[in-house]
Amino acid sequence: MKTDIILAGVGGQGILSIATIIGEAATKAGLNLKQAEVHGMSQRGGDVQSNLRLSDQTIYSDLIPRGKADLIIAMEPMEALRYVPFLSKDGTIVTSSKPFINIPNYPDETAICAELDALPNKVVRLDIEEMAKEIKTPKSANVILLGMAAPFLGCLSTEELRSAIGRVFAAKGDAIVQANYTAFDAGLTQAQQ
């Protein structure tokens, strides 16, 4: 079994935390893992993208070829669209529905959503920032997104991901672990509806 994932967003949104959680779960599950952080993590607000490849077989490259990604997980809808050429015909996009407007000529939000909706792929989107406020975990929008993506991460179960959250955030204390469990569970519930 193999799952190729593109994680996309802008600096400061928590893309690398998602990668860390998935990586922790994959390592604990005994899967092979390759990760390539391709763009700009040095700047808050800059483009961030990571290729994450999981498999029970040997993985020879850390980069996902065009048309081969099983899943795009994007903290921002325009970033989701940026990586559509890498998505397989049966691939899924899980994204925030609200843009992170960090440039003066950011495209119209309605047009971006229409473009996502016009794709032949399955697209799951939700205003994760608003949901994070509603469930009183304002710093965990990225973990809500991970919960939304969990059903599409073929190599890992939701239980494995949830356990990895506990291990990754353990050093920050029980309150932070519980907040991230709440966020993950909220995203998972939305994905299952």
Q: Is residue 125 part of a domain?
A: yes
Q: What is the pTM of this model?
A: 0.92
- Residues 108, 80: contact at Cβ < 8 Å? no
Q: Is residue 34 part of a domain?
A: yes
Q: Quote the tokens at residue 103.
A: 């440039």
- Range of lowest pLDDT (32-36, 41-45, 51-55, 94-98): 41-45
- Give the integer Cα–Cα distance in Å for 38 and 16: 12
Q: Is residue 103 part of a domain?
A: no
Query: Where in the sequence is the domain holding 155, given as residue range(s)?
Result: 2-98+108-191
- Residues 5, 53: contact at Cβ < 8 Å? yes
Q: Is residue 15 part of a domain?
A: yes
Q: Is residue 175 part of a domain?
A: yes
pLDDT per position as a tens digit, 111-164: 998 999 999 999 999 999 999 999 999 999 999 999 999 999 989 999 999 999
Domains contained in the chain, number = 1
Q: Is residue 10 part of a domain?
A: yes
- Give the integer Cα–Cα distance in Å for 114 and 147: 24
Strand partners, 126: 96
Q: Is residue 74 part of a domain?
A: yes
Residue 83, φ and ψ in degrees, nearest 5: -105, 10
Q: Is residue 165 part of a domain?
A: yes
Termini Cα distance of the chain: 26
What angle (nearest 5°) sits at the alpha carbon of residue 143, between those of residues 140 and 146?
160
Give residue 193's pLDDT.
80
Q: What is the CATH number of the domain that holds 155?
A: 3.40.920.10
- Residues 1, 55: contact at Cβ < 8 Å? yes
